[in-house]
């Protein structure tokens, strides 16, 4: 198995989850990727902490690369085949495979381009796709090598964890991975991930 797509969800979000996961299954079937891409999900009724669900998903994964998705994420129609092709055509092992993210905040549209030399905030950089562009350290939806499979999540120690527990869970996990000093990164030059923010991003301005 090349890729493990890991998705936690809850019962009340089954409609949005089903739409997302059915799109992934269609990509896998249409491109004959059943032996290369697996989708693993855990659904509960808010009885299991998100941290525990994501750790359990990692333990269940068998792919060479893993990615953590949210149940309402949107991806390009060729997301699976592009990621598989990128892995199969690597000239050497790499730790992280990245791609660009298209973000919508109210009426504002911009690109987030991953850069391991960056930090976790949005930092302005030259535009891409004729849109404002910001760099940020690769977020959880990129592809991380299986050697990070045992980098487990912990409860956030941030004072904002009550308001945004999922965000700071992600941040803590990524900080742990950054401490591993990734040996190499391969970037696929396409918009693989689309995200609609309900509100502006605190601490970062896109203006």
Whether residue 159 is predicted with pLDDT greater than 60 in this model: the reply is no
Q: pTM for this structure?
A: 0.91
pLDDT band (50, 70, 90) for residue 199: low
* Average pLDDT for the chain: 90
φ and ψ of 203, to 5 deg: 85, -5
pLDDT (0 to 100) of residue 197:
77
- Which of 97, 193, 111 is CA-nearest to residue 148? 97
Domains in the chain, ordered, with CATH? Answer: 3-197 (3.90.550.10)
Rounded percentage of the chain residues whose pLDDT exceeds 70: 89
Rounded CA-CA distance 160/167 in Å is 9
Helix (H, G, I), strand (E, B) or coil at 55: helix
Rounded CA-CA distance 98/125 in Å is 17
């Amino acid at each position: 198995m090349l890729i493990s797509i890991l998705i936690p969800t809850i019962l009340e979000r089954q409609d949005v989850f089903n739409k997302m996961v059915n799109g992934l299954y269609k990509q896998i079937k249409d491109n004959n990727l059943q032996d290369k891409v697996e989708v693993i999900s855990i659904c509960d009724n808010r009885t299991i902490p998100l941290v525990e669900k994501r750790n359990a998903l990692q333990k269940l994964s068998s792919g060479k690369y893993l990615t953590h998705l949210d149940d309402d994420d949107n991806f390009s129609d060729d997301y699976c085949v592009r990621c598989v092709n990128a892995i199969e055509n690597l000239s050497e092992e790499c730790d992280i495979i990245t791609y660009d993210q298209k973000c919508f905040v109210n009426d504002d549209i911009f690109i987030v381009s991953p850069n391991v030399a960056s930090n976790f905030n949005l930092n302005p950089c030259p535009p891409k796709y004729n849109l404002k562009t910001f760099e940020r350290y690769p977020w959880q939806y990129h592809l991380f090598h299986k050697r990070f499979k045992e980098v487990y999540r912990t409860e956030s120690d941030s004072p904002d964890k009550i308001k945004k527990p999922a965000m700071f869970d992600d941040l803590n996990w990524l900080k742990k991975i950054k401490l591993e000093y990734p040996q190499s990164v391969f970037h696929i030059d396409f918009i693989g991930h689309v995200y609609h923010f309900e509100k502006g991003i605190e601490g970062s301005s896109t203006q």
